[in-house]
Amino acid sequence: MNTQLALVLLLLGAAIVMFAMNRPRMDVVALLMIVLLPFTGAVTVNQTLSGFSDGNIVLIAALFVIGEGLVRTGVARALGDWLTTKAGASETRLVALLMVVVCTLGATMSSTAVTAIFIPVALRMAQSTGSSPSRLMMPISVAALVSGMTTLIATAPNLVVNAELSRHLEATQAIDTTGFRFFTFLPFGAPILVIAVLYMLFARRFLPAATATATTSARPRLADWIERYGLKARESRLRVPAGSVLDGKPVAALDRGPARDLHVLAIERAARGGRRILCPTADVELAAGDILLVDRGHDAGAVSALQASFGLEELPLSGEYFRDRAQELGMAEVMVTADSDLVGSTVSKAQFRTRTGLTVIGLRRGDESLCERLVDEPLKIGDTLLVLGPWKAIARVRPADSGVVALEVASDVDEVLPVPGKAWQAVACLLLVVGLMIFGLVPNVQAALIGCILMGALGVIDMKGAYRAIDWKTIVLIVGMLPFSSALQATGGVDLMADGLMRIVGDMGNHAILAAIFLITATLGLFISNTATAVLMAPVAIAISADLKLSPYPFAMIVALGASTAFMTPVSSPVNTLVVTPGNYTFGDFVKVGVPLAVLVMIFCVIAVPIVLPFQP
């Protein structure tokens, strides 16, 4: 062993220890390696920084942006809603469908993002069906990890392994140097998903029986306030028919006559692709076809009087209305401050809705709730008002302008889509990118960049959102670990590790070698990120294939599949870490459920990989 190799291995060992301790952060460790590796003499400064210009790094960043477009437009949530409808009350069907949907979505976007999306979806489903969240959280993480075994772009380790494979093919002057295709992984990922679903349907009985209520947010939801303030019995929907005297009149026209004691909360107006919600300020002109959402308080006859006066048509209104409109309408509780100009005045006289764009629909003074004639009740210091209106108006509430301070905003705000109504544009961009990659019309990185540009042009995502969508921690981690591959190859470290592995299992046959590579890859993944594992193991596996004069494809594939088999500990992958708290899991839960599944996946891969990708080139 030469001095350069010893120094490289020393740095590699230090990186692994720091990764295992999670101190400092993984991206900081990667930056340290970028700085220190040139001092070994194995690589130059330019070589350690070359990862920032690597096409696969740009591709990974672009895929983060495309995945964010699917989240911002509600495509992922629509899948969750469909899942809730199809699953019904059956936990078995729920687990199976949940895993299939998560894996399908994860095939084209970040598995971490998919997991983050479906955690609240699963919590809502657990609450509505009475299931334990712990029986749903780990199936989500398993399916998200399996999604990395379905397509080339599903996870960063696949791209890292493919880049190393392509470099090897170019160095050996192979006829085809493109490496893996988009769906090369699917013959392995699809059966593994079936294995994982069947296994989790059995293994979920060994997970802790946490209750749904134990993991739900302490923040109130719209449903809580609807119940607390009795809104179900107070609201009505009235349509302005053609020829109505209100057609073309401002909302202020409703403040006279029988409508004086009614509150117009919102106006639904027809728009392209559906209906949009308007804030009912005094100067907004009404039009035929508009639907008024009104609060009648406790005067049941006020609505009938309003209908008779203006010829309005009453429409059905379910108790789920506010939740169905939660993308446009929100609620918040605000408090009248000591120096507010609202003190001693009324909501009506202070023109609260004109000032804030919000309608007062509830008033609480101490333990007493006042529901009648809210707009005419003189306000006092400390009064708590329940207000309704657009989320943007709620976000703009400031004491200096409105005279109130926001106490609590409904937790539904966390689920509001930044770009509603552009789901089909996001899906079209995704399909275009996938199509370009499948047919190889342009390089993968160029296809992904085309998709990003189209999403920006169509308004699916803006530049700020695109930069925020990129997980820079992951990018820096990959870039920082890539030089180890070059350093180990330059110093003979790759050949040394390959020779050592061959001496141990070389006489046992090719399948035993694949099993050993898979086992080492999966074991390293217990301590360091699966991306870093792929960086280290891909050149070793490919070097072994060269020594055996066998095709590099099955050896590279076994590394990629092993890197995604990170079921065994909560720190093996960010996907697992995300579900620990909502699932109320311990370290041992992952071990007892994840280890048997990893063994099943290894057995399948060792058998299936050489069948699909033969050893002989």
pLDDT at 213: 43
What span, in angstroms and rounded, lies between the C-alpha atoms of 115 and 510? 36
pLDDT at 1: 66
3-state class (DSSP) for residue 39: helix
| Domain annotation for the chain: domains and CATH numbers | 8-211+430-612 (no CATH), 222-324 (3.30.70.1450), 329-414 (3.30.70.1450)
Q: Are the CB atoms for 235 and 265 separated by under 8 Å?
A: yes
Angle formed at CA 588 by CA 583 and CA 589, multiple of 5 degrees: 35
Residue among 73, 114, 108 nearest 459 (CA): 73
What span, in angstroms and rounded, lies between the C-alpha atoms of 31 and 477? 8
Cα 46 from chain centroid (whole Å): 35
Is the four-CA dihedral 396, 398, 401, 407 of positive or negative sign?
Answer: positive
What span, in angstroms and rounded, lies between the C-alpha atoms of 220 and 205? 31
If you ran DSSP here, which 8-state letter would residue 406 be given?
A: E
What span, in angstroms and rounded, lies between the C-alpha atoms of 206 and 64? 34
Complete DSSP assignment for 66-121: HHHHHHHTTHHHHHHHHHHHHHTT-HHHHHHHHHHHHHHHHTSS-HHHHHHHHHHH
What span, in angstroms and rounded, lies between the C-alpha atoms of 251 and 268? 13
Strands 274-278, 235-239: parallel, antiparallel or unpaired by DSSP?
unpaired
Q: Are the CB atoms for 426 and 75 separated by under 8 Å?
A: yes
AA identity, residue 127: Q
Per-residue model confidence as pLDDT tens digits over 546-556: 888 999 999 99
Q: Is 308 left (phi over 0), alpha (psi -120 to 50) or beta?
A: alpha
Q: Are the CB atoms for 240 and 246 separated by under 8 Å?
A: yes
Give the residue carrying structure tokens 């401050």.
337
pLDDT at 145: 94
State the burial class of residue 158 (Cβ atoms within 10 Å of its Cβ: 0-12, 13-18, 19+): buried
AA identity, residue 582: P
Q: CA-based Rg of the chain, rounded to a whole angstrom?
A: 30
pLDDT at 554: 96
Give the residue carrying structure tokens 């220190």.
36
The enclosing H or E element of 247 equals: none
Tokens representing residue 253 in the block: 């026209």
- Which stretches in the chain have pLDDT values below 50? 211-217
**138 DSSP β-pair partners:** none
If you ran DSSP here, which 8-state letter would residue 286 be given?
A: P
- CA-based max dimension of the chain: 95
3-state class (DSSP) for residue 276: strand
pLDDT at 505: 75
Give φ, ψ of 451 to 5 degrees. Answer: -60, -40
Q: Are the CB atoms for 477 and 444 separated by under 8 Å?
A: no
3-state class (DSSP) for residue 191: helix
Q: Are the CB atoms for 107 and 154 separated by under 8 Å?
A: yes
Give φ, ψ of 417 to 5 degrees. Answer: -80, 130
What span, in angstroms and rounded, lies between the C-alpha atoms of 504 and 514? 13
Residues 6+ apart with CB under 8 A from 231: 225, 295, 322, 361
* Cis geometry, peptide bond prior to residue 157 (ω within 30 degrees of 0): no
Complete DSSP assignment for 136-187: HHHHHHHHHHHHTTTSTTSSHHHHHHHHHHHHHHHHTT-S----S-TTTTHH
